[in-house]
């Protein structure tokens, strides 16, 4: 690395700002909707999934959670009536996480406020060109991480 290599500073800023943004988003979701950022992310993924359900293993990969952590998360959401678990036909070990109507209502209510928070904390700090550059970098990193995981 040379003295003009900006990667170390970019790494520190990426970590620090990611944590700061996630912390504020989590605090605001807890205060306004009684859910964590992780709760919201599970509900978002299920709301976007076909038939509002996903296999637990796929949800775990998308959440970047261990199977046990996701099971705990889904159990907590199920205890509140926001999601349910269903068996996968023909796969005795497989399970779906499914978004309930109550969960969809909770997600929809939270999504509008959360969207405003994301706009305030993230989008307004970036130009469209910044967004395109950041998307390109994050896509490249994601592709690299996926390739490393396969080895």
Q: What is the CATH number of the domain that holds 38?
A: 1.10.10.10
- Residue 130 lies inside a defined structural domain of this protein: no
Partners of 96 in beta bridges: 55, 86
Q: Give the residue-averaged pLDDT of 41-65.
A: 93
Side by side, the strands of the sheet bearing 83-88 are 53-55, 91-99, 83-88
- Residue 25 lies inside a defined structural domain of this protein: yes
Model pLDDT for residues 15-35, shown as the tens digit of each residue: 999 999 999 999 999 999 999
**Could you give the C-alpha distances from 22 to 33, 49, 118, in angstroms and in order?**
16, 23, 10
For 83, counting Cβ atoms within 10 Å of its Cβ (0-12 exposed, 13-18 middle, 19+ buried), the class is buried
Q: Structure pTM?
A: 0.88
- Residue 143 lies inside a defined structural domain of this protein: no
Q: Which residue has the tokens 């988003």?
A: 25
Model pLDDT for residues 62-106, shown as the tens digit of each residue: 888 888 888 999 999 999 999 999 999 988 888 999 999 999 999
- Residue 53 lies inside a defined structural domain of this protein: yes
- Residue 58 lies inside a defined structural domain of this protein: yes
Cβ atoms of 46 and 99 closer than 8 Å: yes
**Could you give the C-alpha distances from 88 to 45, 51, 125, in angstroms and in order?**
18, 14, 43
Taking residue 108's Cβ as centre, other Cβ atoms within 10 Å add up to 11
User: How many angstroms separate the CA atoms of 75 and 79, rounded?
Assistant: 6
- Residue 138 lies inside a defined structural domain of this protein: no
Of all helices (H) and strands (E), which one includes residue 29?
A: helix 7-33
Domain that holds residue 47: 16-111
């Amino acid at each position: 690395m040379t003295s003009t290599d900006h990667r170390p500073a970019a790494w520190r800023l990426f970590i620090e700002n990611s944590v700061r943004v996630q912390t504020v988003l989590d605090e605001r979701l807890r205060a306004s909707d009684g859910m964590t950022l992780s709760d919201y992310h599970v509900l978002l993924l299920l709301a976007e999934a076909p038939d509002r359900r996903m296999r637990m293993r796929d949800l775990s990969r998308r959440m970047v959670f261990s199977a046990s952590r996701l099971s705990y998360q889904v159990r907590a959401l199920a205890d509140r009536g926001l999601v349910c678990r269903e068996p996968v036909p023909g796969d005795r070990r497989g399970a779906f996480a499914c978004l309930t109507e109550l969960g969809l209502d909770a997600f929809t209510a939270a999504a509008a406020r959360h969207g405003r928070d994301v706009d305030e904390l993230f989008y307004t700090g970036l130009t469209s060109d910044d967004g395109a550059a950041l998307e390109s970098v994050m896509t490249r990193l994601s592709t690299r991480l996926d390739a490393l995981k396969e080895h």
